Structures are given as structure tokens and as C-alpha cells.
């Protein structure tokens, strides 16, 4: 660890002292509290039965997501920074413990269905009677109202309902993998919780908040929605390269790697780009350059640049473009990002000692604070790993805890 990294880690975390209680499954909901854990919040995850089913979700589309301990890496993503308690809240004594935890909490988060919340007694009406200032955070598939409000959903369904699957401009729906909308929803939910915490501090009130996969997918497409509704334009532009300007396009290089550039306004960069490519003659040809000094989009022009880009490797082209102030960057596979110097120097990828995976690189927190630190603190808990610790914190002695274990209330 570098001295600057050590200095950053020694700084206080923004949400130290905030207590969050969670009764959720999979990622879109629990991912939000994991983010707040990155900011220092104390999070208690309640599980019962066989626990969060995400623990056992180890295969998707031929990918094996199992860690050495047999549990899914996705469960680790969703539940880092949390302490775990096994608690049967349907028993009288379990309900008593649950209400004690609610009384001490600033936030309660769940992503269970509306009817399930009512059945379990974890709905806002019930819990606000226990703690009137509780922030009751909900994550659903399609929102709190309407005919789909009590229907479960996973990431691909939110993509489908929102139009996100057509955002690439393809004729056939295209699914973004893996958990892209789930993670975006988790971010939106963490944003909502932070806002409600500020309201609680300023106005002294708790409240119920609600985020959905559907709402988040629409919010992600805010520009597209405006183009479609305000201007009646189909914003889902095809990715076919010949239909895009050379200044907003991707090219394959000599080493088989790809590079992409995006430049606006085009008249400012077109001549710089052509001279950097040693292709000044294009600037004088009306077939390729219009009277305003912009490129004429078309298959013939793209083919000319395709041939030119094959003369150098991707890194060699980057060395040409960067001194000219042209906005190009390499197109990376996600596995390459782990070793990207730009990610490493900014702490966007950081080393982490995981208890079953060992020393690995993980995503760092995406925000830099001058006076605070943020990031993953510890691995996801086993089922009931911190049951005794949590019960002792709220005043339960060893004999009483053992009795609760014998009765199956806790584990």
C-alpha cells in the first residue's frame, strides 16, 4: 500500500454512525446498502431459512460464478461491508429482536414484494409505528403503483419494459450483461437513501422511499426519452460504423485492438485529425469534407480510415493523438481494466484481501473525497455470522442467546 493510500484510509468515512437494517435478496436492493457500506454505514443483513438465494446463484449463460467456498461471487458484490444475523422474524421472540433493531436503525431496506412485506410485518406502516423516524427504503421491479406493482422482476425485465434493450439500435432486443441495470438501480436507491437521510437531519422526519428497475432504466435513458417524446425521434442509433462520422467512430488497429474517438463540434477537430493521420488531402476533397469543414459520413470515407488505422498499433495511435488534443481512447475488455494504469492511479481498481479468494483486485469507490475515505471494508458475511455479536450489542446475554438458538429463533 502506498503512503497516499494509507493516508486516505486513515480518514473518517462519510456515513460513520449511520445504522441500516436490511431484509433483501439478490442485488438491486442489497447492492444499495453495500454502496452505503462503502461510505462507512453499519449494515445488518437479516436472513432466515436457507438465506439470501443469491448465495446459491452460481450459473448464468454458461458462466460459473462460484467462489472456492461454493457461494456466488454476486452475493459478495451485493453484500460486502455487512454484518449478518440469522433471525426468524415470524416468531414472537424473533419479532421482538427485530423491533429492537428497527428502533436503533436510521434506515430499513427491503426489495420484497408488496404482499410479502405486509405478511412479514416489514412494511412501512408497521415499522414506522416502531420507529417513526425510520427511512423505509423499497426497491421493486415496476414501481409502487399499477397492475405490475406486486410482480417480481429481475434485471432483464426492467431492461425490456423500459426500451433499454433497443438502445443499441439493433432490430432484435439486446440484453446488457451482467446486472448492469441491477447495479444502476442500486446506485439510484443509495442516492434516494442519502437524500432521505439529509431530510431526516434537516427536517427531523422519516419517510418511505421507493425505487424500481423500471424507473431507473427510464432515468438512465433521460436523453433518449426526451428525443422520443419531445421531438418524435427514434433515438436508438444503429452501431453500424459506416453510418457514423470518422470523428465519432471506432477503428481496428494493426495489433487487432480497437480505438474509439468522439469529437464535437466536428469542424474544430476534423483538420487536426486528418493531419494527425497524415491524410491532409481529404480536407481539400469535397467528397469527404463539406464547406463548413466537417467530414462527409459514408462507407467510402470509413473504408479509407480503416485501411489507415491498420498501419499502427492501438498504443502507437494513442501516442499520435494525445499530444494533438484529440479525444481517443482504447476500447478495453473488462478483464483488461484490472491492469489499466489510469484505473489504478485513480483508485478505480484497488487491491483487497478476500477471505476465500485471497488477494484480488476489486472496483474502488468512484468518488474522491478530500477529507474522507470510502471503499470496500470487509467481505460479505456467512449466514448468521454476526448473530451473537449483534444480539450482545442490544443487551442479550449468553444464556438468553443459547435459548434462542435452541428454539430456532436465531442461528
Summarize pLDDT for 139-171 with one digit per residue, the tens.
999 999 999 999 999 999 999 999 999 999 999
Provide the pLDDT for residue 9: 64
Question: Which residue from 358, 355, 376 is spatially nearest to 366, judged by alpha carbons?
Answer: 376
| Domain 3-224+344-406, CATH | 3.40.50.10540
Instruction: Name the pLDDT band for 10 (thresholds 50, 70, 90).
Output: confident
* Residue percentage of the chain with pLDDT more than 90: 98
Instruction: Name the pLDDT band for 249 (thresholds 50, 70, 90).
Output: very high
Q: Which class would CATH give 241-331? A: alpha beta
Instruction: Name the pLDDT band for 213 (thresholds 50, 70, 90).
Output: very high
Question: Identical fold at 3-224+344-406 and 241-331?
Answer: no
Instruction: Name the pLDDT band for 3 (thresholds 50, 70, 90).
Output: very low
Whole-number Cα distances in Å, 236 to 10, 43, 404: 46, 40, 57
**Mean pLDDT on 114-124:** 98
Tell whether the model's pLDDT for residue 117 goes beyond 90.
yes
- CA atoms of 116 and 48, how far apart (whole Å): 14
- CA atoms of 373 and 351, how far apart (whole Å): 15
Provide the pLDDT for residue 1: 38
Ordered by start, the domain boundaries in the chain are: 3-224+344-406, 241-331
Q: What residue spans of 252-298 are helical by DSSP H?
A: 266-276
Mean pLDDT over the full length of the chain? 96
- Report pLDDT digits (tens) over 67-77: 999 999 999 99
pTM of the model: 0.96
Tell whether the model's pLDDT for residue 130 goes beyond 90.
yes
Whole-number Cα distances in Å, 341 to 7, 125, 347: 21, 50, 10
Amino acid at each position: 500500500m502506498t503512503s497516499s493510500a494509507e493516508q486516505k484510509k486513515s480518514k473518517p468515512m462519510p456515513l460513520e454512525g449511520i445504522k441500516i437494517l436490511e431484509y433483501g435478496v439478490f442485488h438491486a436492493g442489497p447492492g444499495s446498502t453495500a454502496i452505503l457500506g462503502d461510505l462507512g454505514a453499519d449494515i445488518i443483513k437479516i436472513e432466515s431459512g436457507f438465506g439470501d438465494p443469491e448465495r446459491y446463484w452460481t450459473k448464468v449463460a454458461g458462466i460459473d460464478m462460484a467462489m472456492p467456498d461454493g457461494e456466488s461471487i454476486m452475493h459478495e458484490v451485493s453484500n460486502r461491508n455487512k454484518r449478518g444475523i440469522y433471525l426468524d422474524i415470524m416468531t414472537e421472540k424473533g419479532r421482538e429482536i427485530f423491533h429492537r433493531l428497527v428502533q436503533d436503525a436510521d434506515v430499513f431496506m427491503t426489495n420484497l414484494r408488496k404482499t410479502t412485506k405486509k405478511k412479514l410485518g416489514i412494511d412501512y406502516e408497521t415499522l414506522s409505528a416502531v420507529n417513526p423516524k425510520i427511512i423505509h427504503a423499497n426497491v421493486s421491479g415496476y414501481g409502487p403503483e399499477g397492475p405490475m406493482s406486486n410482480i417480481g422482476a429481475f434485471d432483464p425485465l426492467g431492461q425490456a419494459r423500459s426500451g433499454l434493450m433497443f438502445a443499441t439500435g439493433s432490430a432484435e432486443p439486446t440484453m446488457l450483461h451482467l446486472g448492469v441495470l441491477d447495479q444502476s438501480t442500486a446506485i439510484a436507491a443509495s442516492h434516494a437513501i442519502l437524500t432521505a437521510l439529509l431530510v431526516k437531519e434537516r427536517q427531523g422526519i422519516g419517510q418511505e422511499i421507493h425505487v424500481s428497475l423500471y424507473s431507473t432504466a427510464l432515468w438512465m435513458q433521460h436523453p433518449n426519452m426526451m428525443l422520443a417524446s419531445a421531438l418524435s425521434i427514434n433515438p436508438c442509433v444503429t452501431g453500424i460504423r459506416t453510418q457514423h462520422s470518422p470523428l465519432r467512430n471506432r477503428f481496428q488497429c494493426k495489433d487487432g485492438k480497437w480505438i474509439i474517438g468522439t469529437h464535437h463540434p466536428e469542424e474544430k477537430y476534423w483538420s487536426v485529425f486528418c493531419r494527425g493521420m497524415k491524410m491532409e488531402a481529404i480536407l481539400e476533397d469535397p467528397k469527404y469534407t463539406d464547406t463548413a469543414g466537417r467530414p462527409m459520413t459514408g462507407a467510402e470515407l470509413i473504408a479509407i480510415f480503416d485501411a489507415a488505422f491498420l498501419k499502427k498499433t492501438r498504443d502507437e495511435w494513442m501516442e499520435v493523438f494525445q499530444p494533438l488534443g484529440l479525444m481517443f481512447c482504447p476500447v478495453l475488455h473488462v478483464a483488461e481494466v484490472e491492469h489499466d494504469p489510469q484505473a489504478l492511479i485513480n483508485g478505480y481498481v484497488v487491491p483487497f484481501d478476500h477471505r476465500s479468494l485471497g488477494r484480488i483486485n476489486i472496483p474502488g469507490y468512484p468518488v474522491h473525497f478530500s477529507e474522507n475515505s470510502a471503499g470496500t471494508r470487509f467481505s460479505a458475511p456467512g449466514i448468521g455470522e454476526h448473530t451473537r455479536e449483534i444480539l450482545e450489542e442490544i443487551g442479550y446475554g449468553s444464556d438468553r442467546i443459547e435459548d434462542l438458538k435452541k428454539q430456532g429463533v436465531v442461528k
